[in-house]
Structure 1
Amino acid sequence: MIQPLVTKESPVWQDGRAIALMMAATLMVMANATISPALAGLERAFMGQPNADLLIRLLVPAPSLTVVIFAPLAGYLVDRYGRRVMLLSGVMLFVVTGSAGFYLPGLELIFASRLALGIAVAMIMTSQTALIGDYFTGEKRSALTGLQISARNFGGFVFLTLAGWFAVSSPRLPFVIYGLAVLYLPFMWLVIKENPIVSVKKNSTETVKKSDGSEIDGHRAWKGWIAALAVLQLMTNMIFFLMPTQLPFFLDSLGYDSAVMTGAGLGALSLAGGCAALFYSRIKRVLSYAGTYALGYGFMALGFAILPLVADVMVILAGCIAVGIGFALAVPNFVGIALQISPSSRRGMAGGVLTTAVFLGQFCSPFLSIPSITSFGYSGTYQGVALLLGTIALFAALKRGMEIFSLRAKVI
Structure 2
Amino acid sequence: MFGITRSSASRGRGTTAKGITLLYAQILPVMAIVCLFPAIPKLFQHFGGIEHAAIFIPMIVTIPSLFLAIFAPVAGIVSDRYGRRVCFTAGMAVYSIAGLVPVLVDRLDMIVASRAVLGIAEAFIITVSSTLIADYFGERRHGWVSWVGISTSIAGTLLIIAGGALADISWKGPFFIYLLAIPGFIMTLIFIDEPLKSNTESSGTIQPLGFPFKIAFLIGGVTFVASIVYYVEPLNIANILSAAGIESFSTIGVIQALTTLPYILGAMLYRWLFRWSIGNLLALAGLFIAIGQIVIGFAPHYIYVSVGACIQQLGAGMVIPALLAWGQSILPFEQRSRGMGIWATAFFTGTFVCPMLVNMVEQAHDLQKAMVVFGFIAMALALLSFFFAQSQKMNAVNNKSHAAQKGQ
TM-score, length basis structure 1: 0.88
The equivalent position to 1:281 in structure 2, one of 271, 274, 296, is 271
Q: CA deviation at 1:36?
A: 0.9
Q: Which residue of 2 aligns with 1:350?
A: 339
* 1:313-355 CA distance string (max 9 Å, x none): 2211122222222112122222212122212111111111111
Question: Is residue 154 of structure 2 the alignment partner of residue 123 of structure 1?
Answer: no
- Give the conservation status (yes or no) of the 8 Å contact 2:283–2:383: yes
The equivalent position to 1:373 in structure 2, one of 349, 362, 366, is 362
Question: Is residue 317 of structure 2 the alignment partner of residue 317 of structure 1?
Answer: no
- Aligned 1:57-96 pairs, distance under 5 A: 57-96=58-97
2:4 alignment partner, SS class: coil
For 1:154, the aligned partner's letter is I
For 1:129, the aligned partner's letter is S
Q: Which residue of 1 aligns with 2:382?
A: 393
Question: Is residue 341 of structure 2 the alignment partner of residue 340 of structure 1?
Answer: no
- Give the conservation status (yes or no) of the 8 Å contact 2:298–2:372: no
Which of 23-32 and 309-318 deviates more?
A: 309-318
- Give the conservation status (yes or no) of the 8 Å contact 2:88–2:129: yes
- Give the conservation status (yes or no) of the 8 Å contact 2:102–2:172: yes
- Aligned 1:146-185 pairs, distance under 5 A: 146-185=146-185
Question: Is residue 32 of structure 2 the alignment partner of residue 39 of structure 1?
Answer: no
- Give the conservation status (yes or no) of the 8 Å contact 1:269–1:323: no
Q: Percent identity?
A: 25
- Give the conservation status (yes or no) of the 8 Å contact 1:55–1:111: yes
Distance 1:65 1:340, change over 3 A: same
For 1:385, the aligned partner's letter is F
Question: Is residue 353 of structure 2 the alignment partner of residue 364 of structure 1?
Answer: yes
Q: Which residue of 1 aligns with 2:4?
A: 2
Question: Is residue 264 of structure 2 the alignment partner of residue 294 of structure 1?
Answer: no
The separation in 2 between residues aligned to 1:5 and 1:313, in whole angstroms, is 55
Q: Which residue of 2 aligns with 1:217?
A: 207
- Give the conservation status (yes or no) of the 8 Å contact 2:282–2:319: yes
The separation in 1 between residues aligned to 2:106 and 2:334, in whole angstroms, is 43
The separation in 2 between residues aligned to 1:72 and 1:263, in whole angstroms, is 35
2:297 alignment partner, SS class: coil
Query: What root-mean-square deviation, in Å, do the aligned CA atoms of Structure 1 and Structure 2 show?
Result: 2.6
Q: Which residue of 1 aligns with 2:317?
A: 328
The separation in 2 between residues aligned to 1:118 and 1:106, in whole angstroms, is 19
For 1:279, the aligned partner's letter is L
Q: CA deviation at 1:403?
A: 6.1
Distance 1:385 1:174, change over 3 A: same
- Give the conservation status (yes or no) of the 8 Å contact 1:219–1:341: no
The separation in 1 between residues aligned to 2:381 and 2:323, in whole angstroms, is 15
Q: CA deviation at 1:408?
A: 8.2
1:241 alignment partner, SS class: helix
Q: Which residue of 2 aligns with 1:263?
A: 253
What 5-or-longer segments of structure 2 have no aligned partner?
Answer: none
- Give the conservation status (yes or no) of the 8 Å contact 2:135–2:333: yes
The separation in 2 between residues aligned to 1:354 and 1:406, in whole angstroms, is 26
Q: CA deviation at 1:42?
A: 1.4
